[in-house]
Amino acid sequence: MIVKLRELYGSVKDQEIKLIAGKKGLDNIVRWVHMVENIEISVFLDGQEIAFTTGIGLEKKSDLLDLVKHAYNNRCSGMVINIGPFIDEISDEIIAFANEHNFPIFEVPWHVHVAEIMRIFCYNITISDRINTELSGAFKNSIFFQNQEELYVPQLERYDFNANWSYCLAIMEPVNMNTDKRSKILKTIENTVSSITQKSFVFELEGKFVLVFAEYTEEEIREIIKITKDKCSPLLKGNEEIYCGIGKSTRNIKCIAKSYKRASDVLKLQKSSDNNDIIIYRELGLYKLLLSLEDEEVVQEYYQETLDPLVKHDQLNNTDYVEVLDTYLKNNGSLKGVAAELFYHRNTITYKLNKIQEILSCDLSELNTKLAYSIALMLKEII
């Protein structure tokens, strides 16, 4: 499991270390430790570190506040300050900043060896990394080898993921991002989810971030994903995006693969339709049936026999007949509704619909025809 600053602090309580500010940030995740003696070194922080400083590299007292601010801005999880010949006290300004931003600040007296505290922290982090690796492997096995329960049930139960709990998986997929940005997004997701949930786990799979929730309702998960996505938003630039899909709650741990598949289906539909809402699988309606079709050849054949001629006509003649047909069907055949939505005169809509029927050799007044092309338009979004 991930290790939080609160747990590391508890492991060194006998070392005369004292929390003096930022108590609300004790649930921050810690991935490693880093010695940071000046602002220049702080730029190497990668996020989720606990920073240590003796102040030996600071030229004046006010530099410590700047160092704390730089550590926070580089997504450090907290800071341990060694009180001694280089830093005689921690100012009220630093305490106020740390409390305002929920950034934990600890002080350690000079006679205490910070190297021992760092050693204990590193040991606990190393153990946490091993557990994370085992959990990631077990959850991946539950997805890819669903029927081989011995590959994941014992491992997950060992780390308190009960086999009889209900599980629901969500997927967050970053798009148009480099490796560094993806890493920042993942850490933000981990920090946010861990701060508001108890029974959860986050891991990376096939370029996507998979979030496992145990004993949470789908609506609760939607709210968690919304909060998480909002936390990630300030990091996004230009055409960078994050698509999110929520799967279906399972009866027990043996159905995790199904929840992952459902979340993947939602994600596929969102990306193809460029819909960035946070959607739960059960809300997909008829799309659930279409997404469950396994024979892609049959799907392609149906699409080609129905909508494909109109799509090709639009491409060759720069027309908008597919959009007109889609709008017509969504407005239940109301010419007035189509004209209002597309800003056309009703006569223009009538002309375009006649051309559409001519191209497709169909009669749009028939219910079965409307249904056939409604399905074809939905398939267009997922193939």
What is the pLDDT of the chain when averaged over all its residues? Answer: 92
Average pLDDT over residues 174-188: 93
pLDDT at 293 over 90: no
Q: Is the predicted pLDDT of residue 104 greater than 90, yes or no?
A: yes
Gap between the Cα atoms of 368 and 372, Å rounded: 6
Looking at residue 41, what is its pLDDT?
Answer: 86
Residue pLDDT, tens place only, 201-238: 999 999 999 999 999 999 999 999 999 999 999 999 99
Question: Whole-angstrom Cα distance, residue 359 to residue 380?
Answer: 18
pLDDT value for 288 = 72
Backbone angles phi, psi at 53, to 5 degrees: -150, 140
Confidence of residue 295 (pLDDT cuts 50, 70, 90): low
What confidence tier does 287 reach under pLDDT thresholds 50, 70, 90? confident
- Tell how far CA 122 is from the center of its chain: 27
What CATH number does domain 296-380 carry, 1.10.260.40, 1.10.10.2840, 3.40.50.1000, 3.10.290.10?
1.10.10.2840
Q: What is the pLDDT of residue 28?
A: 92
pTM value is: 0.77
pLDDT band at 188 (very low <50, low <70, confident <90, very high): very high
**Quick one: average pLDDT of 190-200?**
91
In DSSP notation, 208-224 reads EEEEEEES--HHHHHHH
Residue 2 has pLDDT above 70, yes or no: yes
DSSP label at 200?
E
pLDDT of residue 120: 96
Contact 174, 271 (CB under 8 A): no
User: What integer is the mean pLDDT of 138-166?
Assistant: 95
pLDDT in tens, 53-75: 999 999 888 899 999 999 999 99
- CA distance linking residue 43 with residue 54, whole number of Å: 17
- Per CATH, domain 5-121 is 3.40.50.1100: no
Provide the pLDDT for residue 285: 76
Residue 26 confidence (pLDDT):
93
Q: In angstroms, rounded to a whole number, what is the distance separating the alpha carbons of residues 85 and 94?
A: 19
Task: Say whether 304 sits in a helix, a strand or coil.
Answer: helix
Share of residues in the chain with pLDDT > 70 (%): 99
pLDDT higher than threshold 90 for residue 152 = yes
The Cα–Cα gap between 42 and 358 comes to 68
CB 248 within 8 A of CB 242: no
**pLDDT for 311 beyond 80:** yes
Does the pLDDT of residue 7 top 90, yes or no?
A: yes
DSSP E strands in the chain: the ranges are 18-21, 32-35, 49-53, 78-83, 105-109, 167-175, 200-205, 208-214, 241-246, 279-280
282: pLDDT confidence band, cut at 50, 70 and 90?
Answer: confident
* 64 or 287, which is more confident: 64
**Superfamily for the 161-287 domain:** Reverse transcriptase/Diguanylate cyclase domain (3.30.70.270)
Q: Which residues of 323-358 are buried (b: 16+ CB within 10 A; e: fewer)?
A: ebbbbbbebeeebeebbebbebeeeebeebbebbee
- Where along the chain do its domains lie? 5-121, 161-287, 296-380
Identical fold, 161-287 and 296-380: no
Q: Name the more confident of 271 and 226.
A: 226
Chain segment 108-120, per-residue pLDDT in tens: 999 999 999 999 9
Per-residue pLDDT tens over the stretch 339-352 = 999 999 999 999 99
How does pLDDT run across 318-364, given as a tens digit for each residue? Answer: 999 999 999 999 999 899 999 999 999 999 999 999 999 999 999 99
